[in-house]
Amino acid sequence: MTEPTRPIRVLLADDEALIRHGVRLILRHAEGIDVVAEAADGQEAVDLAAVHHPDVALVDIRMPVRDGLAAIAPLLALDPAPRVVVLTTFGDEPNVLRALREGAAGFLLKDDGPQELITAVRSAAAGDSVLSPGVTGTVIARMLRSGAADDPAQAALADERVSRLTARERDVLAMLGQGLSNQAIADRLAIGVGTVKTHVGAILDKTGSSTRVQAALLAHRLGLSG
């Protein structure tokens, strides 16, 4: 007899009670996800995580006592350590880059939508990186400026990987390279968001990319993103 899968345990940290309530409602209706604790500041998040052992900690940035970015390292020092995903309104470059440098598994914007939040929690719990489409462009631009996107070995594989894509998938890949969200891509191509998600999944599979950022870098290497 197969053992039932344990629900993903989530801790919410946000100083706004209404935000916590809204996120909790979204996750409550997602199969296999349990919100096990809520914190109103970063220090409380660390304290509660030590007691409740969440798999994923969703943390805001601007909170009293200890902000979300300063809470990342203490959360990751716990045993077991949760996967930390920053969930915030503030997607500016310093916040994104600091969160990733501190070891966050992902960075989401609060306006990304319920399904994106649910998917992010599941992806983070599975060990994947999570990056909001709204901040993909920020990360890509920084990597291009630093030269991190100029890996010769990766560049050599770019043409072969992209040759596997259909014409429409190439169009979507180019828009990923521009940092567009699924909704923005759907609007531009006059197709449904669900169709965009299908194309993105096919792109990641065919190109061997594990994240949207990797696919976007591929688009930049080939000059597809304009």
Residues with Cβ within 8 Å of 32's Cβ and at least 6 positions away in sequence, in order, are 5, 7, 8, 122
- The predicted structure's pLDDT at residue 2: 46
Kindly state the average pLDDT of the residues 122-140. Answer: 76
Of 8, 14, 6, 72, whose CA–CA distance to 36 is shortest? 8
Class of domain 151-221: mainly alpha
pLDDT in tens, 93-117: 788 888 888 888 888 888 888 888 9
Percent of the chain with pLDDT over 90: 43
Sequence ranges of the domains in the chain: 8-131, 151-221
Query: Is beta strand 56-59 parallel, antiparallel or unpaired with respect to 83-88?
Result: parallel
The answer to whether residue 38 scores a pLDDT higher than 90 is yes
pLDDT tier, 7 (very low <50, low <70, confident <90, very high otherwise): very high
CATH topology for 8-131 is Rossmann fold (3.40.50)
- For residues 131-152, give the mean pLDDT: 64
* pLDDT, average across residues 11-37: 95
Contact present, 211 and 124 (Cβ < 8 Å)? no
Q: What's the pTM value of the predicted model, to 2 decimals?
A: 0.71
Q: Based on the number of CB atoms within 10 Å of its own CB, is 114 exposed (0-12), middle (13-18) or buried (19 or more)?
A: middle
Beta strands (DSSP E) in 17-133 are 33-39, 56-59, 83-88, 106-109, 130-131
Q: How many CB atoms lie within 10 A of CB 44?
A: 20
Query: How far is CA 88 from its chain centroid?
Result: 12
* Across 178-196, average pLDDT: 84
Mean pLDDT, the chain, integer: 84
| Contact present, 50 and 77 (Cβ < 8 Å) | no
Amino acid at position 196, single letter: V
User: Taking residues 176-192, what's their average pLDDT?
Assistant: 83
Going by pLDDT thresholds of 50, 70 and 90, the confidence category of residue 10 is: very high
Show the tokens assigned to 211.
């994240």
pLDDT at 177: 80
pLDDT at 1: 44
